[in-house]
Structure 1
């Protein structure tokens, strides 16, 4: 299937341990919602499986027990020790139903090549961006060289911890292609030649999901990221870590590290912000010309901004799961690029989690503001009601 819709969820695991260990682990997935769950990402951790000493976790594949079909899957080495920790796959589960899968070992000849739709990398040839994408959306943010150039008044620098949106309208990867045509002088990612373009202005705004700490009436922000680490790329997920220098919020020292992931078919990246020095922070959406329509749905846990954009329209949003959105604020100022729609996010155990992304009308994904907000309502419902996973 070429077009796959999936949504990152925090799966609920129930370990079923019998007196006798099965040679082939089985997975039962239950959907408690009255709506189908199509290709949501399921995470199976090696540590949760009762494997035998001679079982090689990295050789497992996921097989539907009814149809015997082999699902697309991806292994992730989360702790970067050289061995896979997590297996990802994408089931289709009807409303209020369940399905069963087996973890099986396939012959090498049976395995097929898959495309890395979910991709990210550091981009030293364009100063020092970090960029990421899937089949729906693409993003980037800026590194220390770009900051140094700006501080030294060198042309081409950027000083911002905001998140840039790359408006793609094709489902195949474009990051490498767009950077190559720009850096070689054979084109520009600021011009649409049929695949989309970067015409989203960030400046010192929060872009699509950058963070801030508010003290009194002022929002304080970090500078560019200082270090990066790619965790995984693949057909289902890309994830990476961005580190930031300690920064000051009116005398309060803030530490910040972003764990970012983006799954196949999702318009929203997941941000897990490891932060100290505050018990809450704000994530923002730039208002650009302040000619759009903001919406603050605190009950559902999301904020959205639908705006005219060039000759099209664009929706941006932040979704905060598990009732951790404390408030929202429409902040409008005459200061350049500093008007944002903010969601205030609770920090629990020095981590705050949210999703941020966009939908571009030109991509034919969302034709109206109502369609975009319906997507956000469904997204919030699913992340707050995760699939139940039973390992046997």
Structure 2
């Protein structure tokens, strides 16, 4: 079996690392198993791309399509054109896509039109929010996928509701958590740890990148000032996404507690998460990692495609208003963290299950 693995953006790299590791281990027993790694180039900033390949021991991609940025349509079209050429020149038995970025959807469509079977890792998650590009990517990808690998029973139910064949749906766990467990003993403090006099449990981590939170300059500044005020005497480390930084420009914010830093590599970022007091984010993936690490997480969204992080884990949805965040955060300071656990099969072995199942297809 020859598998083409697709990665295009930061979350993808974290998800493919343990899958490649599982393939390499299985090849010792099944020498006919092989893979080709395609980087679409959707994320091309060094701190959002190259660093992850180095830190997570991901082999150098066999090809980088170098599509870079553009509108949703431009980027998706560029990926499809380039990936079609890639598949025609390098035929495979199966295309494996992960997550919900533009590369995921574009490469799934391209593969199916060339009559190549598609496997979707992290299939079936749904937010119900059609204003999110990721939600559209998920629905389209799952509508043409052949083999579904899910992180939760809820995701299985979503797929069945959409008409997927239950025989091809496999609840295997969470590959992002595989990566977390495989690298916990390798995480390390970033260079600014001592410069900022950071101490375990005495600072918070902030990440913001979704259009609803960052696209309008004045509301973004108001949000940051509100979080800065809310922090009290705790420092907040804010690895700022290049897109968010561009929106802020050279605007002087006069923030007392928020420290803007460059996007961090995986090992430094997970060190920051593991040792912080709490996280404020609008990311879905981070709410999974904080759940496993037992770190309180406040997600600035009205919905989540990962409900298990809230029903079982440490995540709390707070909406997009600073007023609501402040109210919920104040209650948290008074009452302490909520009781939380780790979802079923988030045990670090999801990737092994995926490869074992694919070899039976």
* TM-score normalised over the length of structure 1: 0.26
Structure with the bigger RCO (C-alpha within 8 Å, sep 6+) is 1
Greater fraction of residues in helix: 2
Give the strand-richer structure, 1 or 2.
1
Rg bigger for which structure? 1
TM-score in terms of structure 2 length: 0.28
